[in-house]
Structure 1
Amino acid sequence: MSGIEIIRLPSRFDYSFHRQFGDLYTPLIEGGECDDIILDFSQVEYLDSSALGMMVLLQKKSSVNNIKVKIKGARGATDEILKMANMQKIFEFI
């Protein structure tokens, strides 16, 4: 395995992005060519509890294949929400 893949998240990361999020990460996990998935939060202005749940599910599925999921570009209220939810214990913030 080799490679880093970036998933750019939308400005509104909520349940409406659920299907698209799964469509983006499933081939990365199943492809066997990825070591790290980076969730790019640089455009995210809003996220809700369903987004946090989707992230945890991604982490569980990724860890089975020894793929690390990292968070990049979280800022402002988005960063505060992620830290209040203790996501730094699950994901590496880069």
Structure 2
Amino acid sequence: MQLREGVKADFEVINNCLVIKLLEELDHHNAISIREQSDKLITGKNIKDIIFDFTGSEFMDSSGIGVIMGRYKKIIFTGGKVAVTGVNQSVDRIFRLSGLYKIIHKFETIEDAVNKFNHN
């Protein structure tokens, strides 16, 4: 299931896991639309885990951190997990400095993350 409603990301659901493939920077320009679309899917599709794929994104600001934290807070109480894939050096640095890696997982590929989540 691919959705594109003016959002700078592709959304796909794989085994109750929402994959958000970012097509541009996760910044204040597109944070609201990504948050709104992902929240609709989390509620409507019984999402357990979320994967943010940064392969198509080279930058994230504090709005992006807010998007990730907000989705984490939505699924953590049902045992869900959040992961990131495809992070470049700049985005990786933001994750490390912000402390996000203490609560989210990092994988090389979407497939690695989906496989890990499905085996837990």
After TM superposition, the score normalised by the length of structure 1 is 0.84
Question: Quick one: higher RCO (CA 8 Å, sep 6+), 1 or 2?
Answer: 1
| Percentage of matched positions with identical amino acids | 27
- After superposing on structure 2, the runs of 4+ consecutive aligned residues of structure 1 that deviate more than 6 Å are none
Question: 1:66 and 2:79 equivalent?
Answer: yes
1:22 to 35, 41, 44: 35
Any gaps of 5 or more consecutive residues in structure 1?
Answer: none
Q: Is the 8 A contact 2:55 2:87 kept in 1?
A: yes
The alignment of Structure 1 onto Structure 2 pairs a total of residues equal to 93
Question: 2:66 maps to what in 1?
Answer: 53
Which residue matches 1:90?
103
Secondary structure at the aligned position of 2:70 is classed as helix
What is the RMSD computed on CA atoms of the aligned residues? 1.7
Does structure 1 conserve the Cα–Cα contact (< 8 Å) formed by 2:16 and 2:45? no
Contact 1:29 1:67 in 2 (8 A): no
Cα deviation, 1:19-49, whole Å, max 9, x if unaligned, reads: 2112221123212532221100111111111
Aligned partner of 2:49 in structure 1 is 36
Q: Unmatched 5+ residue regions in structure 2?
A: 1-14, 108-120
